[in-house]
Amino acid sequence: MANTSENTEKNTSARANSARAQQQPKEQSPGPMQVLRGACAQLAELTGMEAESVSSFERTEDGWSLHVEVLELARVPDTMSLLASYEVELDANGELSGYRRIRRYERGRSDRS
């Protein structure tokens, strides 16, 4: 009879564990806004410069790709300040996997067409 009691307890315990596992939310990959905020924070930590804006943001096969505009050198007047565009690559979890500066320009200058 002890064996039957032990089996019943094991079955009850297994059902309880299964029910808990079903109730726990599954890990989800971060949403776009979480990825965006995390990317800007990680880039600022690495470069020491804060992001001013994001000009491109898209999901890729490996994660995410962004173009982030950063103030590199403040000048007076502000139109003479130096900005830079950084290409930032993130993995599927939103962790920065690489970045590079792709362009540097004065704030007051527009792109040539």
What tens digit of pLDDT does each residue of 41-86 get? 999 999 999 999 999 999 999 999 999 999 999 999 999 999 999 9
Distance CA 90, CA 94 (A): 5
Any idea where the domains of the chain sit in the sequence? 32-106
- Model confidence band, residue 28 (pLDDT cutoffs 50, 70, 90): confident
Q: How confident is the model at residue 26 (pLDDT cuts 50, 70, 90)?
A: low
Structure tokens at 100: 């590079």
Look at residue 9 and tell me whether its pLDDT is greater than 70.
no
Q: Which residues contact 58 (CB under 8 A, 6 or more apart)?
A: 64, 65, 66
Q: Is 95 helix (H, G, I), strand (E, B) or coil?
A: coil
Answer whether 11's CB lies under 8 Å from 3's CB: no
The CATH number of the structural domain formed by 32-106 is 3.10.450
* H or E element, residue 9: helix 2-23
Number of Cβ within 10 Å of residue 38's Cβ equals 17
Predicted confidence at residue 29, as pLDDT, reads 81
d(CA 41, CA 34): 11
As a whole number, mean pLDDT of residues 82-99 equals: 96
